[in-house]
Amino acid sequence: MAANSPARSRRPDDIDAAIDSIFARLGRNWKWIVFWLALLGVVFFYVIPSWSVVSGPLLVVAQLLFQLLFAAFFLIIQFGALFLFLGRGRVYWIEPGESGTNFTDYKGAPEVVEVATRVVTLIRGVKGFKQMGGEVSRGLLLVGPPGTGKSYLAQCISSEAGVPYCYASAPSFQNMFFGIGNLRVMMLYGKARKKALKYGACILFIDEIDALGASRGGMSGGMGGGGGLFGGGGSGMLNELLLQMDPPNIETSSIKKFLRKIGLRRGKVINPPVLTIGATNLPEVLDPALLRPGRFDRQIRIDSPDFDGRREIVEYYLDKVKHVPDMPIDKMSNDTIGYTPVAIKYVINEAVVNAHFNGKDVIDYKDFTRAREYHEWGLRQPIKSMKKEERRALAYHETGHAFAQIKLNPTERLSKVTIIRHGSALGLSATKPLTEEHLRSKEQILADIQVSLASKASERIFLGTELNGQAGDLPSATRLAAYFLGMCGMGGTLYAPLAFGQLQPDGELKHQIEMLLEEQFKKVKMLLEANRESVVAIAEALVIQEELDGDEVLEIIRDVEERVTRRAADDREVALVGAAAGPNAAGPAAANGQAESNGHNGHAHGNGHANGNGHSNGNGLEPGLDIGGPRREQPQPDEEGPAGYSGTTLG
């Protein structure tokens, strides 16, 4: 009894508290109470007794109110339908098993596949992983140059995991109306969570995510930060994306919300797992909030494949087309250094196109080479009306490049030298690395400078003039010299102007660049003068055939060098015979030796170009003539190194 006395004493207090609460509510809402009492008084004491008088005006007022409500309802329906239509993102949904791609189709990057396999394992075993106390990653960022297979990898992950896959482009979320972009992001994730409830998980792939998730500090995400109805969204879409990637644990279903409100659903809310995969080649512009743990906390870097990767990709795509059985896979892999998987696929498909239009049923290495040249250099367009003098001048220009490349770059092989127009270049001399290189030495950079200047040296020696086709060679040599001195510290100083953002060289650096260029020009000029016969033989063959493969150029050089060696041996033998015969026989022996020497030297003196005859004025060239310079048949690096430098990135 004593134990129940405190409870009984509290009951009157609870009743008093409830009564006080009711009167407090009445006190807060006394205005509404007075309004409704006055309205009821008017109805009972005025409207009902005089209904025949007031019924007409009341019906008019009711009709007007109905029309206003109908118009408002119609406008709401219109705007609601419009926003729902505009809020539908332009995305593509792929159900499990629909794409048919898996990790066996992803070639050239086994390390990337290994990391992606772990992601698939976590998606498949979400329940077991959570029972261990872990949390499944909500974001995966794929970083790499275009064409390296980022979207293809996302498809493989979804297929291997057996979950739905959504492809969305970040620019497709943008809209001229403010808020539509946010609505698209919200509706997309809402649909993804519904599919995740059905299949256990879902993958959203957002391509070019830098267009949506650019840093709010430097550049605004989306289309800018304008306000009003036509604001475009600004950083609002980014904020919505941040919220949807890491949402609070709240009910999203209306039925579940109702059940939880009436107390029939209890317990912690668990959001279905939705993995967001973003792809970009500009990770440095992304907002830091996107890269924090809990969002894009996993990153996979996908670069261009190495030799083994390219070989695997070449074999994979060759198996899909008809080809001759003796395709040189290793040579094709070396020819495609710096290529992405998409570029290799394109070149092989272009080889099939060439073979088909040439009336062949299978492709060979020649078709592959022609397709690769078209991909790298552009369309092959011979200029049939070009004058012979211009062709000869162009031949000596390109021969200077080709010969310097052979003699100065032993780690590279000459692929082709041609005076046939490809793209915007009237001619070109292209090389290929013998092996894949990731660093460039001091000697290699100096050799590259000499190769760029070899065309001008050849023109001075063999044509006795200079042409206007140096528009690409001289800037390339200058950038290499600036890179050599100002960035790599290979000129005797450790000062790097690029550390302070100084892209333009000062007066002292300009003087050093000029001295370096002049020194390398003298060296390559001496090289060409010492091998005059070889250069002339290559140039004359190029005038006749218009293009030469690297092997053909090497054969010409070997023939000339053997002829020079034999002539030197004959001269030594004649000299020894003359010395042994004595002074009386010196005259006839020397004469015979000279005649024999001239016989061997007929090619050197019969070319008509050793002293520049016939080309000293150079009048046959039009202003603005673009003569192609030396080229390495591989994509240029995106970072570090001057523009036009065709070497690999220095560490």
Together in a domain, 198 and 333:
no
Q: How far apart are CA 276 and CA 154, in angstroms?
A: 10
Domain boundary among 339, 355, 377: 377
Distance in angstroms (rounded) separating the CA atoms of residues 528 and 461: 8
Asked whether residue 400 is domain-assigned, the answer is: yes
pLDDT at 418 > cutoff 70: yes
Question: Are 424 and 517 found together in one domain?
Answer: yes
- Residue 337 shares a structural domain with residue 321: yes
Confidence of residue 264 (pLDDT cuts 50, 70, 90): confident
- pLDDT in the model for residue 77: 85
pLDDT at 481 over 90: yes
The continuous run of DSSP H or E covering 92 comes out as strand 92-94
Contact 208, 280 (CB under 8 A): yes
Interval 443-453: pLDDT, tens = 999 999 999 99
Backbone angles phi, psi at 595, to 5 degrees: -65, -45
18-29 pLDDT, tens digit per residue, is 777 777 777 777
Instruction: Note whether 332 and 396 are same-domain residues.
Output: no
What is the pTM assigned to this prediction?
Answer: 0.71
Looking at the fold, whether 424 and 519 belong to one and the same domain comes out as yes
3-class SS at 413? strand
CATH classification of the domain holding 335? 1.10.8.60
Among 120-134, 276-290, 630-644, the range scoring the smallest mean pLDDT is 630-644
Predicted pLDDT of residue 593 = 42
Q: What is the pLDDT of residues 199-233, one digit of tens each?
A: 888 999 999 999 888 888 754 444 444 444 444 44
What's the CA angle centered on 205, arms 204 and 208, to 5 degrees? 140
Confidence class for position 3, pLDDT limits 50, 70, 90:
very low
- What local confidence, expressed as pLDDT, does residue 587 receive? 46
Which helix (H) or strand (E) segment holds residue 142: the answer is strand 139-143
Phi, psi dihedrals of residue 326, rounded to the nearest 5° = -105, 45
- Mean pLDDT on 512-533: 95
- Which residues lie closer than 8 Å to 563 by C-beta, 6 or more apart? 533, 600, 603
The set of residues, in sequence order, having a beta carbon less than 8 Å from that of 425 and lying 6+ positions away, is: 377, 378, 626, 627, 628
76 occurs within a structural domain = yes
Does a structural domain hold residue 581? Answer: no
Cβ-Cβ contacts under 8 Å for 332 (sequence gap 6 or more) = 314, 365, 368
206: helix, strand or coil:
strand
Rounded CA separation 360/532 (Å) = 43
The CATH number assigned to the domain holding 625 equals 1.20.58.760
Q: Is residue 194 part of a domain?
A: yes
Does some domain include residue 27?
Answer: no
Same-domain pairing of 470 and 366: no
User: Residue 591 above 50 pLDDT?
Assistant: no
pLDDT of residue 9: 52
β-bridge pairing 274-280 and 412-418: unpaired
**Mean pLDDT confidence for 126-142:** 77
CATH, residue 101: 3.40.50.300
Angstrom distances, CA of residue 296 to CA of 71, 130, 146, 289 = 47, 19, 20, 9
Q: Tell me what the mean pLDDT of segment 436-465 comes to.
A: 93
Q: Are residues 294 and 331 in the same domain?
A: no
Residues whose CB falls within 8 Å of the CB of residue 43, separated by 6 or more in sequence, listed in order: none
- Position 522 confidence tier, pLDDT thresholds 50, 70, 90: very high
The pLDDT tens digits for 265-304 are 777 887 888 999 999 999 999 999 999 888 998 899 999 9
The three state secondary structure string of 284-326 is: HHECHHHHCCCCCCEEEECCCCCHHHHHHHHHHHHCCCCECCC
* In a shared domain, residues 354 and 474: no
User: Rounded to an integer, what distance in angstroms lies between the CA atom of residue 212 and that of residue 220?
Assistant: 9
Report CA torsion sign: 357, 361, 366, 371: positive
Between 550-581 and 586-600, two packed helices, what is the crossing angle to 10 degrees?
170
Higher pLDDT, 232 or 434: 434
Cα separation of 543 and 556, whole Å?
14
Instruction: Render pLDDT for 331-361 as a digit per residue (tens, 0 to 9).
Output: 999 999 999 999 999 999 999 999 999 999 9
* pLDDT for position 453: 95
Say if 430 falls within a structural domain.
yes
Number of domains making up the chain: 4
- End-of-domain residue from the set 268, 286, 301: 301
Q: Judge if 328 and 433 occupy the same domain.
A: no
The per-residue pLDDT for range 224-244, each reduced to its tens digit, is 444 444 444 457 789 999 999
pLDDT band at 584 (very low <50, low <70, confident <90, very high): low
Instruction: Decide if 510 is inside a domain.
Output: yes
Whole-number pLDDT of residue 128: 66
pLDDT tier at 613, thresholds 50, 70, 90 = very low
Q: Which residues pair with 548 in a beta bridge?
A: 417
For 7-34, give the secondary structure using H, E and C: HHHHHHHHHHHHHHHHHHHHHHCHHHHH
Regarding whether 502 and 409 lie in a shared domain, the answer is yes
Mean pLDDT of 419-425: 89
Rounded to whole angstroms, the Cα distance separating 270 from 267 reads 9
Same domain, 240 and 365: no
> Phi/psi of residue 374, each to 5°?
-65, -40
Domain that holds residue 282: 88-250+257-301
Q: Are residues 233 and 363 both part of a single domain?
A: no
Q: Angle 247-248-253 (CA atoms, 0-180°, nearest 5)?
A: 90
What proportions of the chain, in percent to the nearest 5, are helix, strand and coil? 55, 10, 35
108 torsion bin: left (phi>0), alpha (psi -120 to 50), beta (else): left
